[in-house]
């Protein structure tokens, strides 16, 4: 499921950058596979919890899977949102340059790959290395928002396209948040240490 979602996110960015309508439509069509997989994983985890009655790390593993499953499903949905914005952008005058969107996308993809690798290898150090990038993505989103707000204020004909790009940035930022959740779950799984909400505690 991680592989499918990684591929959807990756393709959604590629479709956006290349204005590839066919690819965007494929991502939208592929969502149902991700959704079916989410339900299958949930039901397998519930079955294992009932039949194996795991404790300690085995139990943390299964509760992590439940959460990561939810994060991945949501990321699949975000890839679909990006694909829909791409279909809208293809029909509009271009807004250039928003150089920070590809940088956000590269960071978000990297965070997802690392957090999934960290889960598979149960590597808390690798998971920790994901966390600082979340702030970097937030800062890029702020820059993108500022730049696009300026476009909207100065070029009314480009309001729609700038809005589409703004939502793409928002979806990428949310993707990074979900990778952060996955990384935090891996740290909890390996160490039994809940590192969520460190900043707001």
CB of 63 to its own copies, least distance (A): 6
By CB under 8 A, what part of segment 20-59 binds its own copies?
Answer: 31-32, 35-36, 38-39, 42-43, 45-46, 49-50, 53, 55-56, 59
Does residue number 70 form part of the binding site for its own copies (CB under 8 A)?
Answer: yes
- Report CA-CA distances (Å) from 161 to 103, 107, 146, 166: 19, 23, 15, 9
Pick from 23, 87, 90, 163 the residue near its own copies by CB under 8 A.
Answer: 163
Using a 10 angstrom Cβ sphere, with 0-12 exposed, 13-18 middle and 19 or more buried, the burial of residue 91 is exposed
Exposed (0-12), middle (13-18) or buried (19+): which is 162, by Cβ within 10 Å? buried
Question: What is the smallest separation between the CB atom of 45 and its own copies, expressed in angstroms?
Answer: 8
Cβ-proximal residues to 113 (8 Å cutoff; 6+ apart), any chain: 6
In 3D space, the residue among 87, 105, 97, 145 whose CA is nearest the CA of residue 13 turns out to be 105
According to the binding rule CB under 8 A, does residue 196 interact with its own copies? yes
Q: Kindly state the number of chain residues that form the binding site for its own copies, as judged by CB under 8 A.
A: 36
Quote the CA–CA distance of 46 and 105 in Å, as a whole number: 34
Query: Is there binding between residue 135 and its own copies (CB under 8 A)?
Result: no
Shortest CB 18 distance to its own copies, Å: 26
What span, in angstroms and rounded, lies between the C-alpha atoms of 123 and 117?
A: 8
Q: What is the DSSP letter of 25?
A: H
Using CB under 8 A, pick the residue from 94, 138, 139, 194 that binds its own copies. Answer: 194
Query: Cα separation of 23 and 18, whole Å?
Result: 10
Cβ atoms 143, 104 nearer than 8 A: no
The smaller minimum CB distance to its own copies, of residues 96 and 157, is found at 157
Residue 66 or 110 with smaller CB distance to its own copies: 66
When asked if residue 131 is in the footprint of its own copies (CB under 8 A), the reply is: no
Query: If binding is defined by CB under 8 A, does position 19 make contact with its own copies?
Result: no
- Give me the residues that bind its own copies (CB under 8 A), please: 31-32, 35-36, 38-39, 42-43, 45-46, 49-50, 53, 55-56, 59-60, 63, 66-67, 70, 149, 152-154, 156-157, 159-160, 163, 166, 194, 196-197, 200-201
């Amino acid at each position: 499921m991680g592989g499918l979602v990684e591929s959807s996110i990756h393709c959604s960015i590629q479709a956006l950058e290349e204005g590839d309508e066919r690819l965007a439509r494929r991502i939208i069509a592929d969502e149902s596979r991700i959704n079916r997989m989410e339900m299958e994983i949930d039901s397998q985890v519930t079955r294992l919890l009932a039949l194996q009655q795991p404790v300690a790390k085995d139990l943390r593993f299964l509760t992590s899977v439940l959460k990561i499953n939810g994060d991945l499903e949501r990321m699949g949905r975000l890839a679909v949102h990006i694909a829909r914005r791409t279909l809208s952008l293809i029909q509009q005058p271009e807004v250039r340059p928003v150089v920070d969107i590809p940088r956000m996308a590269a960071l978000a993809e990297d965070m997802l790959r690392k957090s999934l690798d960290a889960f598979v290898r149960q590597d808390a150090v690798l998971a920790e290395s994901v966390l600082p990038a979340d702030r970097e993505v937030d800062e890029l989103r702020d820059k993108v928002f500022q730049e696009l707000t300026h476009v909207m204020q100065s070029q009314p004909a480009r309001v729609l396209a700038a809005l589409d790009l703004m939502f793409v940035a928002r979806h990428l930022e949310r993707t990074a948040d979900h990778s952060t959740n996955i990384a935090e779950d891996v740290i909890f799984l390996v160490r039994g240490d809940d590192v969520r909400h460190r900043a707001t505690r």
